[in-house]
């Protein structure tokens, strides 16, 4: 089966992750025939823009193989022009119907941004650039509440950063926004848990055939109407 719609692509990823979680991986598309077939061209069914964390390897956690995923990674999945160009390449020229922002718990980049926000001390070198690009999510996350543990606070900000990154992609890239409006592509946010191996849907811009999940937007990609305070109204 080859996924050609956002709905099919999400289903393929969800099914693959379920196999990974339960230890029943099938290792599809990793044989010699597949390798030879792909030498003629690629048609990946999803663009995965994830954190560089060595424990969050897209093909492994979604149980996929060669030619399936167009993968872009930076620490803390922070966006720059090279990232946007890579995502646009996958979604437009390779016609991938789904863009996935892949974050995770215990993320070092999000932890560093929380620390910088709390102390006012920025890291040096180019690590500073990473932290600067995560900080807006620390600011727009729901305010911390008394009694909230450090790990829970980290999860809260991580979810906000995943959501925010998806919005940013649609806001910055006119090409992606157009594809989403046409229903040919969707941009979703997924949070991966290191211990359990589970990939949980956090946000969606566009129709992926799933309803009833918090913070879901659907239909038009008009993210400019989003409130600055984090959660999206259902529409």
Q: Which residues bind Zn ion (CB under 5 A)?
A: 51, 53, 107
Q: How many CB atoms lie within 10 A of CB 80?
A: 11
Q: Which is nearer to Zn ion, 65 or 108 (CB)?
A: 108
Q: What is the smallest separation between the CB atom of 109 and Zn ion, expressed in angstroms?
A: 5
Q: Which residue is associated with the tokens 């991580």?
A: 158
59 in helix, strand or coil?
A: helix
CB of 156 to Zn ion, least distance (A): 15
Tell me how many degrees the CA angle 72-75-78 measures, rounded to the nearest 5: 70
Q: Is the CB of 187 or the CB of 191 nearer to Zn ion?
A: 191
Report the residue number, 180 or 202, with the smaller CB distance to Zn ion. Answer: 202
In angstroms, give the least distance from the CB of 103 to Zn ion.
7
Nearest distance from C-beta of residue 124 to Zn ion, angstroms? 20
Distance CA 143, CA 3 (A): 39
Distance, in Å, from the CA atom of 153 to the CA atom of 156, rounded to the nearest integer, reads 5
Distances (CA, A) of 96 to 5, 77, 85, 109, 158: 8, 19, 14, 28, 25
* Least distance CB 232 / Zn ion (angstroms): 23
- Give the Å distances, CA to CA, from 210 to 46, 115, 164, 188: 17, 35, 20, 11
CB nearer to Zn ion: give 51 or 186: 51
């Amino acid at each position: 089966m080859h996924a050609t719609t956002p709905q099919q692509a999400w289903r393929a990823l969800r099914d693959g992750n379920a196999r990974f979680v339960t230890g029943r991986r099938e290792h599809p598309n990793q044989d010699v025939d597949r390798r030879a077939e792909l030498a003629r061209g690629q048609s990946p069914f999803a663009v995965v823009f994830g954190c560089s964390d060595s424990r969050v390897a897209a093909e492994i956690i979604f149980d996929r193989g060669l030619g399936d995923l167009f993968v872009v990674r930076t620490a803390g999945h922070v966006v720059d022009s090279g990232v946007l160009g890579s995502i646009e390449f996958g979604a437009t020229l390779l016609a991938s119907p789904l863009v996935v922002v892949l974050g995770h718990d215990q993320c070092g980049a999000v932890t560093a941004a929380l620390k910088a926000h709390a102390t006012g001390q920025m890291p040096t070198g180019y690590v500073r650039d990473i932290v600067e690009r995560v900080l807006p999510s620390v600011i727009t996350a729901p305010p911390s509440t008394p009694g909230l543990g450090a790990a829970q606070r980290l999860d809260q900000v991580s979810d906000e950063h995943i959501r925010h990154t998806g919005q940013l992609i649609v806001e910055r890239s006119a090409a992606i926004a157009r594809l989403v409006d046409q229903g040919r592509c969707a941009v979703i946010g997924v949070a991966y848990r290191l211990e359990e191996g589970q990939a949980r849907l956090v946000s969606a811009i566009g129709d992926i055939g799933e309803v009833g999940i918090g913070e879901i937007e659907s239909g038009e990609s008009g993210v400019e109407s989003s409130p600055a305070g984090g959660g999206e109204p259902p529409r």
